Amino acid sequence: MAETERLTESVKELLESGRDDRLIDVLADAHAADVSSVMRELDLGDRVRIFRLLSPEHAGDVLSELDDQTLLDLVSALDEHEVSRILDHMPSDEVVEVVEDLPREQAEKILDLMEEEKSEEVHELLEYGEGTAGRLMSTTLVSVHEGLTVAQAIEHIRKSASGDDAFYLYVVDDHEHLVGLVPLHRLLTADPATPVRLIRDEDVESVSVDTDQEEVARLVQRYNLREVPVVDGSHRLLGTISVDNVIDVIREEATEDIQRLGGVAGDETVIDPPRAVFPKRLIWRLINLGTAVLAASVIGLFETSIQALATLAVFMPIVASMGGIGTTQTATVVVRGIALGDMTAGVLMRVLRKELWLGATTGLINGLVVAGIAYLWKGQLLLSLVLGLALWLNMLVAAVVGTLVPIALKTFRVDPAIASSVIITTFTDVFGFFSFLGLATLLIRFLL
């Protein structure tokens, strides 16, 4: 990222000194991804100024690289005509990526101002649901009829303006059905007179236009694909999804998993305006308050014991806290295992045994340690033993809860990542307070 920082510095200097001629050169030489990073660091006025110094093609590339928030701010500060002229230079699938992030009204206005043909293509793509293969695909691809020879196919590729991004030649039948593909490398080395039919791969992994983007990503990862052809219900070839779009999906999914486990919306970013993320944050904090009050009500049941022996209050959070780490560790591995496809029905019992074994062994060690500490601190042997036992029991509960709750959520088609600590630690908090204070209350006459 050092390159970006250097670019940011020189752009800032040139902006200050007002040397637009040099700025034009510097920006023209920079990759769109780097220009978009620079823009994030500037205020809106400078963003607009920079943006207007870019060639229309470059400006389009920069637009498709911008994060949602910066894009929104920038487009709102520009004139709709200006934006539409730039979008005219972009492939329709990239235009989709830009306009889908804009408020509907503004998007419509801009699309109306665009060239009719391009605008229609964009509208067609926008009809596919968000998060489907149709939304990800590009419609510029090279396909030939299976009856052609290699020489004819190459001639066809020469004539079509498909761009350098094509790595496969797709093969279709009379009805545009996808019936195979040929890597360009094979085409290049094949005898020109060979029919394409004879050198194609027939077993082509493809996805339907309404396939979920997560499923597309899974396919790409599983079969190491470089590109995924997209077909309609009757297997007609509609477009292709390139691997860089899939990588974006993988990153988004990972972000979603990480953030949901942390009790945050899957699409929040560090620079989102606070007002935008306020509702989601508040909801999880209120849910957490609910679970905390529930745990407190368990403590409330034993207020008399605590009144009699305040030391109980000192130790009880330790039991809850250890249950928390136990269940969080377990649930984290299980949730990730589900996402990676490792956590299948066939291994459930094995995982449960593993977690119970870990809960029992680490629980025993931690229980002995905490009992030792408590004994040295307070000198009450029985209380120390009750503390150690409650901790050990809570680690077993943590193993079961941490394994089964994510799987249960998955079974009910709820994203297991929302089994965030907020939810699962409720079990261990409640059980931890209950077991420790309950045992202590049963034995209270020996503890005083």
Residues 215-254 that bind a second copy (CB under 8 A): 218, 220-226, 242-244, 246-248, 250-251, 254
> Among 110, 179, 238, 322, which residue sits at the site for a second copy (rule: CB under 8 A)?
322
User: Residue 266 corresponds to which amino acid?
Assistant: G
| Partners of 149 in beta bridges | 195
165 near a second copy, judged by CB under 8 A: yes
Q: CB-wise, 114 or 260, nearer to a second copy?
A: 260
d(CA 237, CA 171): 9
Q: CB-wise, 57 or 117, nearer to a second copy?
A: 57
Q: How many residues bind a second copy (CB under 8 A)?
A: 126
Question: Is 244 exposed, middle or buried (CB count within 10 Å of its CB: 0-12, 13-18, 19+)?
Answer: exposed
| Concatenated DSSP letters of 72-101 | HHHHHHS-HHHHHHHHTTS-HHHHHHHHTT
> Among 20, 41, 173, 212, which residue sits at the site for a second copy (rule: CB under 8 A)?
41
Please, are residues 11 and 62 in contact by the beta-carbon 8 Å criterion? no
Q: CB-wise, 81 or 285, nearer to a second copy?
A: 285
The footprint of a second copy on residues 99-158 (CB under 8 A) is: 154, 157-158
The footprint of a second copy on residues 347-366 (CB under 8 A) is: 347, 350-351, 353-355, 357-358, 361-362, 365-366
Helix%, strand%, coil% for the chain, nearest 5: 70, 10, 25
Residue with tokens 């004994």: 375
Least Å distance, CB 50 to a second copy, is 15
What is the contact mask toward a second copy in residues 370 to 399, using x (rule: CB under 8 A)?
x--x---x----------------------
Q: What are phi and psi of 212, to 5 degrees?
A: -65, 145
22 near a second copy, judged by CB under 8 A: no
Least Å distance, CB 92 to a second copy, is 17
Counting other chains too, the contacts that 118-127 makes at CB distance below 8 Å and 24 or more residues apart are: 118/87, 118/88, 118/92, 121/92, 122/92, 122/95, 122/96, 125/92, 125/93, 125/96, 126/96, 126/99, 126/100
Binding window for a second copy (CB under 8 A); candidates: 95-103, 105-113, 119-127, 180-188: 180-188
299 near a second copy, judged by CB under 8 A: yes
Q: CB-wise, 115 or 342, nearer to a second copy?
A: 342
Least Å distance, CB 384 to a second copy, is 13
85 near a second copy, judged by CB under 8 A: no
Residue with tokens 């009144």: 307
Question: Is 356 exposed, middle or buried (CB count within 10 Å of its CB: 0-12, 13-18, 19+)?
Answer: middle
Binding window for a second copy (CB under 8 A); candidates: 15-23, 51-59, 96-104, 186-194: 186-194
